[in-house]
Amino acid sequence: MKHHMLTTVRHYNWLNALYIVSCGATLALPFMSYQLGWLSFVTFVPFLFYLVFLQKGQTKTRKVIKYIWLVGVVFMAITISWMYQLNTIDLIQDPWTRALFVPLTLGLMVLFFSSGFVLFAWLYTKLKVSLDSKSSFLLLPAIWIAGECARSIIFSICALGEGGSIGMHWNFGALGLAASATPLVYFSRFGGLFGLSFVVVLVNIAIFQLWRRKFVRVSQLIIVSIILATLLAYYVYHTPSGTSSEQIGVVHFSSNVAIDYQPALLESLQAVPKSKVNLVVFPEYSHLFDEPRLLNEDRQIAQLLLKNESSRIITTGSIFTAKTETNAIVELDVSGQQMSAQGKTFLIPGGEYIPYLYKGILIASGNYQLIAYHEGEKTVFQSKKPIEPITINGVSYGVLACSGIIAPEYYRELTNRGAEVLVNAASLSTMGIGTQFFDQAKQMARFQAVANARTLVQSARGKLSYIMSQNGTIQVQNKDDSTSYMLGDIQPNSTRTIYTLLGEWTVLASFIGLALFVYLNKKS
């Protein structure tokens, strides 16, 4: 009898471990490449079977929370595995710290991001959610997006430093981002990112119940309702209001180009139809008109591209004060004169500032030189002024530098302030991150464009530069990673979506719904 029980326990542990790894890996599949986002409709289903497995095994609450957290660890470790291709910092003196820098960074990020699974598991057990009850159709999606929202805020707090921002800015692994590669993204115009995650989980539950042949009519009604709501969101906002389309120029830099991109760009311009435009977007850190020895080439490029004296170039530059240097979005005219400049507000930990947590680790390991180097050469001063749209020839552009593409709230705020077109001046290859990140960034970009119903223009150093329409279709895109110039059409739009106006209202609605559920249960 004792031997039989021991065999059963061992079998359960192996099966449980298999469930944890397979569920985490399956959840991560839609983030491995852009097109795999379609799998988001079914990759939550194995996790639902795992919840049933834990329920049938009468697993203790504490272990349920631990096991679900481990699913989150596997999920996030795969989703952000592009961190392993980060360029290590050679100036780290201590060899052990240098060797551990990337795995330590990945480990800390996985730890912080997986915290959302702990909240999900705690609410799941506290509310006694059962997949054999119709209430699970609302409860599970609500507690899931509560976890997604929480882990985003938790990471922003843990990454705090002189330049950090607290908020729902860090959404790697949000199911709504994976679904942004699918037509379901149009629902984000109503519900935002977390509302999109909500309906992704809801679709998965409906498919799960159809597989089990339970709540069949309810599941069918949910799927049909989501399809109709998505079609409605598409047709309400698919036609831009306001001005007609016009051409814009987009410059792409090769990953390995430094400052001397001018010869390659001038050569690329020979193959482009001679069409001058009112606006050209350059990548971040293009240093246009910054190098005295290259001024002639810069002027030649500007004159070849821009239509007249009222035409503009958008890129990034530096704003110097007595004590600080701020990376800024700058607007240049055809002669290189700076017409406006706005400091960067959203900064990347490690890349543009050192989080307090990492500063403590570096000090403890004796790497003072690295801190001094970063503060002298890499640290960017955070602007406290909100970014405002830039108006050029009657069109209002909401422009952010590089990292803004991962933080939806900033583009939403710009759209609320009147931006008719969204622009991202990026430097994607600076940190040497892997191609998996670029696919996730494209999912993020499609969400930003569609949710706000705005054309999004990205000019980048490395990987992808493109013009994406307000409906998420690519108008033009670079063919390879060589330095090049592209022309494309943009359609300004002044209509604000429900998401643009209300933001992530579904998170608040979910918390209110959960609180109401608890109250009614206690009352009954």
Asked whether residue 232 falls in the same domain as residue 323, the answer is no
Q: In sequence order, what E strands does 245-322 have?
A: 246-252, 279-281, 312-320
pLDDT score of 298: 87
Tokens of 400: 């952010």
In the predicted structure, residue 289 carries a pLDDT above the cut 50: yes
Rama region for 250: left / alpha / beta (φ>0; ψ in -120 to 50; rest): beta
pLDDT bracket for residue 8 (50, 70, 90): very low
pLDDT score of 323: 57
pLDDT score of 180: 96
Asked whether residue 228 falls in the same domain as residue 263, the answer is no
Instruction: Give the span between the Cα atoms of 64 and 69, in whole angstroms.
Output: 8
Task: Return the closest-CA partner of residue 67 out of 11, 129, 20.
Answer: 20
- In percent, the amount of the chain with pLDDT more than 70 equals 91
Instruction: Answer yes or no: are the C-beta atoms of 327 and 343 closer than 8 Å.
Output: yes
Residue 370 included in any domain: no
Residue 468 included in any domain: yes
User: Bridge-partner residues for 312, per DSSP?
Assistant: 279
- Tell me what the mean pLDDT of segment 143-164 comes to: 92
Render pLDDT for 168-189 as a digit per residue (tens, 0 to 9): 999 999 999 999 999 999 999 9
pLDDT score of 6: 44
Asked whether residue 301 falls in the same domain as residue 427, the answer is yes
Asked whether residue 234 falls in the same domain as residue 343, the answer is no
- Tell me what the mean pLDDT of segment 328-345 comes to: 89
Residue 324 is part of a domain; what is its CATH number?
3.60.110.10
Contacts of 153 by beta carbon, 8 Å cutoff, 6+ apart: 166, 167, 168
pLDDT score of 86: 67
User: Bridge-partner residues for 342, per DSSP?
Assistant: 329
Asked whether residue 134 falls in the same domain as residue 71, the answer is yes
pLDDT score of 431: 59
Render pLDDT for 435-489 as a digit per residue (tens, 0 to 9): 788 889 899 999 999 999 999 999 998 888 999 999 999 999 998 888 889 999 9
Residue 369 included in any domain: no
Strand pairing class (484-490; 246-252): antiparallel
Instruction: Scan for tokens 């552009």, then name that residue.
Output: 397
Instruction: Answer yes or no: are the C-beta atoms of 440 and 427 closer than 8 Å.
Output: no
Asked whether residue 210 falls in the same domain as residue 290, the answer is no
In the predicted structure, residue 507 carries a pLDDT above the cut 60: yes
Asked whether residue 399 falls in the same domain as residue 467, the answer is yes
In the predicted structure, residue 391 carries a pLDDT above the cut 90: yes
Asked whether residue 47 falls in the same domain as residue 194, the answer is yes
pLDDT score of 243: 63
pLDDT bracket for residue 260 (50, 70, 90): confident
- In percent, the amount of the chain with pLDDT more than 90 equals 55
- Tell me what the mean pLDDT of segment 48-63 comes to: 90
Render pLDDT for 402-416 as a digit per residue (tens, 0 to 9): 778 888 999 999 999
Residue 374 included in any domain: no
Asked whether residue 474 falls in the same domain as residue 452, the answer is yes
Q: Where are the alpha helices (DSSP H) in 80-174?
A: 95-113, 115-126, 136-158
Asked whether residue 213 falls in the same domain as residue 305, the answer is no
pLDDT score of 436: 84
Dihedral (CA of 447, 448, 454, 457) sign: negative
Which DSSP string do the residues of 149-214 spell out, in sequence order? HHHHHHHHHHT-BTT---SS---TT-HHHHGGGSGGGGGHHHHHHHHHHHHHHHHHHHHHHHHHT-
Q: Domain of 109? A: 2-238+503-523
What pTM was estimated for this model as a whole? 0.90
Q: CA geometry: angle at 192 spanning 158 and 386, to 5°?
A: 60
Residue 142 included in any domain: yes
pLDDT bracket for residue 509 (50, 70, 90): very high
pLDDT bracket for residue 4 (50, 70, 90): very low
Asked whether residue 254 falls in the same domain as residue 221, the answer is no
Of 82-96, 266-280, 422-436, which one has max mean pLDDT?
266-280
Q: What is the mean pLDDT of the chain?
A: 87
In terms of pLDDT, which residue wins out, 365 or 191?
A: 191
Instruction: Give the span between the Cα atoms of 441 and 497, in whole angstroms.
Output: 22
pLDDT score of 376: 72
Residue 364 included in any domain: no
Distance of CA 77 to the CA centre of its chain: 17
Tokens of 494: 């002044």
Render pLDDT for 79-119 as a digit per residue (tens, 0 to 9): 998 877 666 555 566 666 667 777 888 888 899 999 999 99
Which amino acid, 4? H
Render pLDDT for 189-227 as a digit per residue (tens, 0 to 9): 999 999 999 999 999 999 999 999 999 999 999 999 999
Count of domains for the chain? 2
- Tell me what the mean pLDDT of segment 149-164 comes to: 90
Tokens of 131: 């997949």
Asked whether residue 210 falls in the same domain as residue 340, the answer is no
Residue 368 included in any domain: no
In the predicted structure, residue 366 carries a pLDDT above the cut 80: no
Which amino acid, 168? M
Residue 404 included in any domain: yes
